[in-house]
A and B are shown apart, each in its own frame.
Chain A
Amino acid sequence: EVQLVESGGGLVQPGGSLRLSCAASGFSFSNNWMTWVRRAPGKGLEWVANIKQDGREKNYVDSVKGRFTISRDNTKNSLSLQMNSLRVEDTAVYYCAGGLGFTMSAWGQGTLVTVSS
């Protein structure tokens, strides 16, 4: 059974940092692109970042460039998202997802990040 389990969410003040992690099992992690997608309260889905199988290609949405860093460890089947200089508008449920190419076929349940003073 494919499982992607996110962790690391929580409450943080504006300007603070948080690191999200995603642990994969039952899934060919090293053969798949991995992605972070978020959904802010009352809003739609927003693609945040993705990373190629070997970690050499990374893409980001403009609003997080320079603040967020996606990374992966294929030896541990683990995906991470380092989030710095957090803003109120980064408040959302963050999902880890993966699949062949850019298509995301497997998803985690999500972890809530709340940026508030």
Chain B
Amino acid sequence: DIVMTQSPDSLAVSLGERATINCKSSQSLLSSNRNFLTWYQQKPGQPPKLLIYGASTRESGVPERFSGSGSGRDFTLTITSLQAEDVAVYYCLQTYSAPLTFGGGTKLEIK
């Protein structure tokens, strides 16, 4: 099974500042020039929400301050100009092969 390691476990960032979350897979998620890596946001009491797929493609309706980057085994979710509504837990998920596996999650708070 592919192991997904997220860092940090928690993060406190000031409003308007940048937040960066990292995700590393135990094997490459790159195939046919596509990275099988997605990012989700989960707020308390809500289901997860798809933010980014293919490592860098923003889902329709997701604000431009959310961006994904990386390839192969190393990936990053960046939130520029943090807003209060971005407080949540963020997860990476590999969709390269079953069983699909999530990272452990990063809890993002306001400093």
Residues of A within 8 A of B (CB): 35, 37, 39, 44-47, 50, 59-62, 95, 97, 99, 101-105, 107-110
B101 nearest in chain A by CB position? A47
Closest CB of chain A to B84's CB: distance in Å? 23
Closest CB of chain A to B29's CB: distance in Å? 11
B46 nearest in chain A by CB position? A109
- Whether, in the assembled complex, B65 has its beta carbon less than 8 Å from a beta carbon of chain A, the answer is no
Chain A residues with Cβ below 8 Å from B104 are 44
Interface range on chain B: under 10, 10 to 19, 20 to 34, or 35 or more? 20 to 34
Contact partner of A102 (CB less than 8 A), chosen from B100, B102, B105, is B100
Residues of B within 8 A of A (CB): 1, 36, 38, 40, 42, 46-50, 53, 59, 89, 91, 93, 95, 98-105
A103 in contact with B101 given A44-B91, A109-B47 (CB within 8 Å): no
Cβ-defined contact, A110 with B38, below 8 A: no
Chain A residues with Cβ below 8 Å from B100 are 35, 47, 50, 59, 102
Closest CB of chain B to A54's CB: distance in Å? 16
Task: Give A14 to B47 CA distance when docked, in angstroms.
Answer: 26
B54 nearest in chain A by CB position? A103
Cβ-defined contact, A107 with B102, below 8 A: no
Chain A residues with Cβ below 8 Å from B89 are 44
A44 in contact with B102 given A107-B48, A109-B47 (CB within 8 Å): yes
Closest CB of chain B to A41's CB: distance in Å? 13
21 CB-based A-B contacts, threshold 8 Å: A35-B100, A37-B48, A44-B102, A45-B48, A45-B91, A45-B93, A45-B105, A47-B99, A47-B100, A47-B101, A59-B98, A97-B47, A102-B36, A103-B38, A103-B53, A103-B95, A104-B48, A105-B50, A107-B49, A108-B47, A109-B46
Closest CB of chain B to A80's CB: distance in Å? 19
Closest CB of chain B to A28's CB: distance in Å? 15
Contact partner of A104 (CB less than 8 A), chosen from B1, B42, B50, B103, is B50
Contact partner of A45 (CB less than 8 A), chosen from B1, B40, B46, is B40
A99 nearest in chain B by CB position? B50
Task: Give A90 to B95 CA distance when docked, in angstroms.
Answer: 23
